[in-house]
Amino acid sequence: MKVLQKADPEIAEIILAEQQRQADTLELIASENHVSGPVLVALGSILTDKYAEGYPGKRYYCGNTNIDSVETICIERAKKLFGAEHANVQPHCGTSANLAVYMACLKPGDKIMGMELAHGGHLSHGMRLNVSGLFYNTSTYGVDPKTERLDMGQVRKLVLEQRPALLIAGASAYPRIIDFEAFGQIAREAGCLLMADIAHIAGLVAAGVHPSPLPHATFVTTTNHKTLRGPRGGVILCTSEWAKRIDAAVFPGLQGGPLEHVIAAKAVAFCEAMKPEFKQYAAAIIANAKALADELLARQWRLVSGGTDNHMLMIDLRTRRPDLTGHQAAGWLAAAGIITNKNSIPFDQRKPMHTSGIRMGTPAVTTRGMGPAEMKAVADWIDKVLSSDGDQAVIDEVSKQVLEMCRQFPIPNNPTCADIE
Ligand SMILES: Cc1ncc(COP(=O)(O)O)c(C=O)c1O
């Protein structure tokens, strides 16, 4: 860090300020985590210098011997971790991974079907302003209005009516187990391909604490940076028969040179995810989410679908505070050092910039070593802040306690870029 401080104090100062912010707040955003020191070191390595258009053994530039080794190890680890026949580790993000699948198996104008965005789906599953919605013809399925869970009978009915070329299973804001086996049966019956997007739950799937979409889906896409606790980026897993078309869709179809420093960091994260400790970590994420959910329910906060099976939960603010928007609520919590995000809830009457819900998840606080006892305290603080109407004295009091807890549970293995000096 000293090198950077000397060369560019402006940026160095911001990085240090961000590190302090992360250290002093509780990260409850369900899609975020704190990577390990080894992942950060690989990410900050000189592998960023190399152009490596192509794939191991088939590059356009010379000098890629070491890069080939890194990417091959990363591919083999991804295959082993998830039990896949083929892996492409080059997608720069989860959205690129999804787009590459569409490019590999669809023509513009073909039908895709994913989960309704307002019910927890993702932009890249066919939202009208996203390239997936512009290039492909989208229809959606949603959750049952009573249970707020996917009703697989209803999904089947809609798929058989709509006959999409590609069915997408996966979500950004769904706190329940996704029945990939049922999705596989429906896709087979409808004669369509199935893509499972496990961006959120990849770490849970890798650890065996959420059912795997393999072998039910032809394509599985993921990000690395959520429950999987790797660097920002994406991966595509597929059956051997699609390997060539997927690779061609990523490069030269969609991307140029791969980010080999990120690929090295992905490899490090996959190695970490194969360790027995990671299984314990993933189980602890779910135990913490359930503990947080139970404590909030005990304080009369309504949760979408009544609770959680995975790493996230969604508070429906309307029952306790019909006047309060997710935007306001998340702002008050952030002022108290509890970082969440506003989120639409199923059948939300409010617009996405306001919302009636907040989404929270436990991957990052679990990385810090917190457990159910800490989740009880967190639920208490959330309850206090949200019940206080944003009262500054309450926010100040809670933020003091949050800071104390943060000091007790420092972010582990964070080298502050010191190793890179
Ligand atoms: C289900 C799902 N798919 C894809 C993505 C996209 O990932 P990225 O932001 O890396 O493009 C996300 C991100 O939140 C997601 O939740």
With bands split at pLDDT 50, 70 and 90, how would you rate the model's confidence at 416?
A: low
pLDDT of residue 420: 45
Q: Which atom of ligand 1 is nearest to the CA of 124?
A: 4
* Average of per-residue pLDDT across 239-249: 98
Active site residues: 51, 53, 197, 223, 226, 232
Q: What angle do CA 301, 303, 307 make, to 5 degrees?
A: 120
What CA–CA distance (Å, rounded) separates 51 from 47?
Answer: 9
Residue 251 in contact with residue 61, Cβ under 8 Å?
no
Please check the confidence at residue 414 and state whether its pLDDT lies above 80.
no
Q: Which atom of ligand 1 is nearest to the CA of 92?
A: 10
pLDDT of residue 417: 47
pLDDT of residue 1: 86
In this structure, the residues whose C-beta lies within 6 A of any atom of ligand 1 are: 31, 93-95, 122, 124, 170-172, 197, 199-200, 223, 234
pLDDT of residue 415: 57
Kindly report the CATH class assigned to 279-408.
alpha beta
Please check the confidence at residue 203 and state whether its pLDDT lies above 70.
yes
Question: Do the bridges between strand 111-115 and strand 86-88 make them parallel or antiparallel, or are there none, so unpaired?
Answer: unpaired
pLDDT of residue 418: 47
What CA–CA distance (Å, rounded) separates 299 from 379?
Answer: 8
Please check the confidence at residue 105 and state whether its pLDDT lies above 90.
yes
What's the whole-number average pLDDT of the chain?
96
CATH architecture classification, 40-273: 3-Layer(aba) Sandwich (3.40)
Q: Which atom of ligand 1 is nearest to the CA of 93?
A: 10
* Average of per-residue pLDDT across 4-10: 96
Kindly state the tokens that stand for 359.
């989404």
Kindly state the tokens that stand for 317.
């603010």
Q: Domain ranges in the chain?
A: 40-273, 279-408
pLDDT of residue 367: 98
Please check the confidence at residue 282 and state whether its pLDDT lies above 70.
yes
Query: CA–CA distance from 75 to each of 2, 68, 122, 177 (Å)?
Result: 34, 10, 26, 27
pLDDT of residue 98: 98
Question: Do the bridges between strand 302-303 and strand 312-316 make them parallel or antiparallel, or are there none, so unpaired?
Answer: antiparallel
Please check the confidence at residue 421 and state whether its pLDDT lies above 70.
no
Tens-place pLDDT, residues 362-405: 999 999 999 999 999 999 999 999 999 999 999 999 999 999 99
Please check the confidence at residue 187 and state whether its pLDDT lies above 70.
yes
Tens-place pLDDT, residues 308-347: 999 999 999 999 999 999 999 999 999 999 999 999 999 9
Residue in 122, 131, 310 to alter for ligand 1 test, most ligand atoms within 8 A of Cβ: 122
Question: Do the bridges between strand 357-361 and strand 312-316 make them parallel or antiparallel, or are there none, so unpaired?
Answer: antiparallel
